[in-house]
A and B are shown apart, each in its own frame.
Chain A
Amino acid sequence: MTIALDLAYVAPTSLEDALGQLADGDATTVLLAGGTDVIARLRDDAIQPTRLVDIKRIPGLSSVEIRKGSLHVGCLVTFSDLLASDLVQDRFPGLEEMARLVASVGIRNRATVVGNICSAVPSCDAGPVLLTHDAVIHTTSPAGERAIPIDRWFVGPRRTAIEDGEIVTHLTVPVPRNHHGAAYARLSRTRGEDLAQASVAVLLEPGHRYRVAFGAVAASALRARRIEALIAGSRVDAELVDRAVDLVHDEVAPITDVRATAHYRLRMCEVMLRRALTAATGRAAGDGPRYDVALI
């Protein structure tokens, strides 16, 4: 099985050059970073670009560091890079928990976090966790730079707020306050390779400030605002967890596909919300489950 396309390939060494390649209207251009999605789609004939712009030779796009109170994640940072970062381990355990659950080592070594939210499949793992962390996506184009809050980023399956000619250079994630608790529960059929069938992310910051998001149960990852409103400001106990779980069917709209039925997804969202809320609350208090123990 080969790729039957007449493709041009360029590997610019500066962002300006890459933007110029994107702006050149003579070609249908696709950006290439880790390629775990793009190459699979090329092989499937799901996309037919005439030119690939490989951005991996552009310097300065691989940093994972704190800048102005936020984690700066360059667009070439892979899931393995996140896992290898002491900074992420110490201050963003929720991102680490998520990265560990993505596919397998061989994919994580290549797949980028930014690529994951740019391909924007409904089951993307970074989506729900970055939603709970109030991440911001930063783009650049000849028209200038834009900062797009992640809750306005996903607009549908494989559709985002990116505009023609733009490149996502990095995303930023505000440092969660001390004594926060995060949780990401991810349901899949097999360990290693499967996409998420459904997922739930929770972030609890001091002052009972909860963020809740779901993945793979709607057209794109989404914040669960009704659940957040219900539990905001309260100490989450068993009774409140029950009431939050009762709202799940108002928040998500799962479909039936080859990986799970809508009914199963919905029921498991309830189970996972219960576990994630309990785990995040416990972790914030210092007595929750370890971050490297899968919640489901």
Chain B
Amino acid sequence: MRHAITLRVNDEVRTLDVEPSDVLLEVLRGRVGLTSPKAGCERGDCGACTVLLDHRTVRSCLILAVEVDGHEIVTVEGLGIDGLTALQERLIELSAFQCGYCAPGVILSAAELLAETSDPTREEVQEAIAGNLCRCTGYAPIVDAVLAATRAPAGAPTPEV
């Protein structure tokens, strides 16, 4: 039986008809047109499908679309709605990513951390992104960029690369 669900996605209210078996990741990508959440392992292990659900990171491959009726989803498309965040700018400046497949998940995980604490330790940054597998970078440049984002507010001079 189809269910009509209403949710707020990146600050826009959407009403969708979904089957109970429709997975949130596939609905976001295929129906809502948001392709920043990626399909990686599709079993909760890699973090590529990460989205913010009511401001907390979750695996959209392990959530059914019907479950989020009445809730709020934010993806990277919504994070940068008023231009890139300081976090995104530092990630770009420091060339933190290579292929970029992990980037949307990493960005949201780091954004969740930075919303909780403006001055995280390296250890806290590592823990925040520990569930986002990156096959390219070895993580060090990503962690450096997240830490740089906490030190250099938007508009401040760019750190040396």
Chain A residues near B (Cβ < 8 Å): 1-9, 11, 32, 35-36, 39-40, 42-44, 52, 54, 56, 80, 103-107, 109-110, 191-193
Contacts and interface: CB of A to CB of B under 8 A. Distances in A.
Contacts of A11: 66-67, 69
B20 A9 contact: yes
Contact of B131 (A6, A9, A54, A192): A192
A193 B21 CA distance: 25
Interface string B118-129: 000000001110
B130 A39 contact: no
22 contacts: A1-B39, A2-B22, A7-B21, A11-B66, A11-B67, A11-B69, A32-B64, A35-B67, A36-B44, A36-B59, A54-B66, A54-B67, A56-B67, A104-B132, A105-B57, A105-B109, A105-B131, A107-B131, A191-B130, A192-B131, A192-B132, A193-B131
Contact of B44 (A8, A32, A40): A40
B23 A39 contact: yes
Contacts of A103: 131
A107 B59 contact: yes
B130 A104 contact: yes
Nearest to A51: B20
Given A43-B43, A110-B62, A193-B44, 7 more contacts: A3-B22, A5-B21, A11-B66, A52-B64, A105-B128, A110-B59, A193-B130
Nearest to A193: B45
Interface string B93-117: 0000000000001000100110000
A251 B73 CA distance: 47
A192 B130 contact: yes
> Which of A42, A104, A110 neighbours the largest number of chain B CB atoms within 10 Å of its CB?
A104
Contacts of B57: 105-106, 109
Contacts of A43: 23, 42-43, 61
Given A2-B23, A105-B112, A36 B62 contact: yes
A52 B3 CA distance: 13
Contacts of A36: 44, 59, 62
